[in-house]
Amino acid sequence: MDRRPPTKPVTPDARRAAAALLAVLCAAVGVTCATEGQLRTANVLAPAASERAPTTATAMASSAESAAVELAAPSGAISVETAPAPRPRLQHFCGALKELSRQSRDQHVRVLWYGDSHTYADFLTHAVRSPLQRRYGNGGPGFVHLGLSPYRHGGVKASRSGPWRQEPAAPSRSTRFSDGVLGLGGIRTVPESAAASATVELNRGAVEERAEWQLWYRFPERAAALTVQVDDGEPRSLSGASSAGSKIQRATFEGTVAGRFLVRGAAGAPQLFGAAVESGRPGVVLDTLGINGARAATPLAWDDQSFLSLFAARQPDLVVLAYGTNEVFATEDPERYHEHFDRLLERLRRSNVRFDCLLVGPTDVAAPGGASHSRVASIDQVERAASERLGCAYFSIYQAMGGEGAAARWAAEHPPLAAKDGVHLTPRGYEDIGARIADVLLAACE
């Protein structure tokens, strides 16, 4: 793995403990990871302290203990040393990364990460994106929404001015909205006057060589129009006079590594489905596609043809489905959610795109008194079983946090790793989990 030297000496015991913990997490995902002899530092589950908050010793110990339960047999716990080797499930994704490392690939390696509010703010996903890009090349920030507020992305600064409309108003719904055409991310935005504009400014180092922008839009009426300006170039007009209709259109633009992308509503009610920004040379791209309140059933309500068309155009090598927390608060039998994951993966595979899949389970959710909500473990098990049946890897955030009662323990840390609402994590907590997922993916692809 590509890691910098630790800031203090690494003892053999620390190396062995870290290797054992990584092996447990890799086993939870269902991939083969590096052995102890291949590890270069003891800090295999976290970047340098300057980049994010280190996990406390208490949290790390409880996480290792509870994660080991995933290897338990009816007769008792199986040690890491004697556990059967997990079946690799990320061959395509890892192969694509190795092509990047050999400089034999001229296309980006793309990850499409769908999920709920844990995904939406991009703290967790950016903590996965960053180490993958450091190791295999920076392909750029990927997908960004336009005209949303509040909205955050780790690779860009997004803002808006003037009146905008979000459709649907509640995008987490699992029933059809209008014609169901909601693009790649399940949300479309509409500038409601010529004064409405959306701007995306690239953070320093967000892209390399040059910025390649792609805009997705639609003009339901011929009178609708947009203007697009990249960096300080001349504004470009897009009009419904030549492209009105129900089909999502695509326009591409090229800019500088320190530039900006400005979209302004010129006339009518044009619909925007977001944009993607990538580097001019091949690398890793991770599209953050979370929706607050979403469940695995949410994407099933989107129009099939338009969604799969954009999905196929992105050509993902890995698809992540990170749902489960909102299912915890529902009343349906947890076993019903098998159907949702089955239908969603079946839909994505109809795109004829070759990709691997990773299911990421819910965080722990605190109940009154500090125990875990009674449904968290059940949802975690449903998703684990679904991943096995569907041929996907699985990562249990619930187990990685430490299992039963973890949310309350994380909230009690100083500084806290979980929010007081008992549901969400703090940015430091999300970065912790994201770094662990990144480490498992990196180790699996060594």
305 neighbors 130 (Cβ within 8 angstroms): no
pLDDT of 242 reads 79
pLDDT of 312 reads 98
The answer to whether residue 165 sits within a structural domain is yes
pLDDT of 31 reads 46
pLDDT of 42 reads 25
- Provide the residue range defining the domain that includes 200: 143-281
Q: Who's near 157: CB < 8 A, 6+ residues apart?
A: 200, 201, 203
Query: Within a 13 Å sphere around the CA of 372, how many CA atoms are in the beta-carbon half?
Result: 22
Query: Within a 13 Å sphere around the CA of 402, how many CA atoms are in the beta-carbon half?
Result: 22
The answer to whether residue 237 sits within a structural domain is yes
pLDDT of 11 reads 43
The answer to whether residue 161 sits within a structural domain is yes
Q: Who's near 142: CB < 8 A, 6+ residues apart?
A: 110, 129, 155, 276, 277, 278, 285, 286, 287, 288
* Pairing mode of beta strands 197-202, 284-290: unpaired
Closest CA to 427 of 127, 201, 141, 166: 127
Per-residue confidence in pLDDT tens, the chain, 446 aa: 333 333 333 344 444 444 444 444 444 444 444 433 332 222 222 232 333 333 443 444 344 333 422 322 222 222 223 333 334 589 999 999 999 999 999 999 999 999 999 999 999 999 999 999 999 999 999 999 999 999 999 999 999 999 999 999 999 999 999 999 999 999 999 999 999 999 999 999 999 999 999 999 999 999 999 999 999 999 999 999 878 888 999 999 999 999 999 999 999 999 999 999 999 999 999 999 999 999 999 999 999 999 999 999 999 999 999 999 999 999 999 999 999 999 999 999 999 999 999 999 999 999 999 999 999 999 999 999 999 999 999 999 999 999 999 999 999 999 999 999 999 999 999 999 999 999 999 999 98
312 neighbors 353 (Cβ within 8 angstroms): yes
Report d(CA 2, CA 374) in Å as an integer: 39
- H/E run at residue 438: helix 427-444
CATH code of the domain containing 197: 2.60.120.1360
Report d(CA 7, CA 183) in Å as an integer: 45
Closest CA to 148 of 172, 166, 169, 123: 166
The answer to whether residue 356 sits within a structural domain is no
Q: Is 308 helix (H, G, I), strand (E, B) or coil?
A: helix
Closest CA to 420 of 429, 404, 408: 408
The answer to whether residue 205 sits within a structural domain is yes
pLDDT of 244 reads 86
The answer to whether residue 396 sits within a structural domain is no
pLDDT of 257 reads 96
The answer to whether residue 259 sits within a structural domain is yes
308 neighbors 346 (Cβ within 8 angstroms): no
Report d(CA 174, CA 291) in Å as an integer: 12
The answer to whether residue 169 sits within a structural domain is yes
Q: How many structural domains compose the chain?
A: 1
216 neighbors 181 (Cβ within 8 angstroms): no
C-alpha distances in Å from residue 385, one per residue of 121, 319, 335, 445 = 28, 18, 10, 23
pLDDT of 241 reads 85
pLDDT of 65 reads 34
pLDDT of 82 reads 30
Q: Residue 264's CB: how many other CB atoms inside 10 A?
A: 19
pLDDT of 53 reads 37
pLDDT of 246 reads 87
Amino acid letter, residue 69: V
Backbone angles phi, psi at 114, to 5 degrees: -95, 145
Report d(CA 216, CA 274) in Å as an integer: 6
Whole-model pTM: value is 0.84
* Pairing mode of beta strands 164-167, 211-218: unpaired
Name the DSSP letter for residue 95.
H
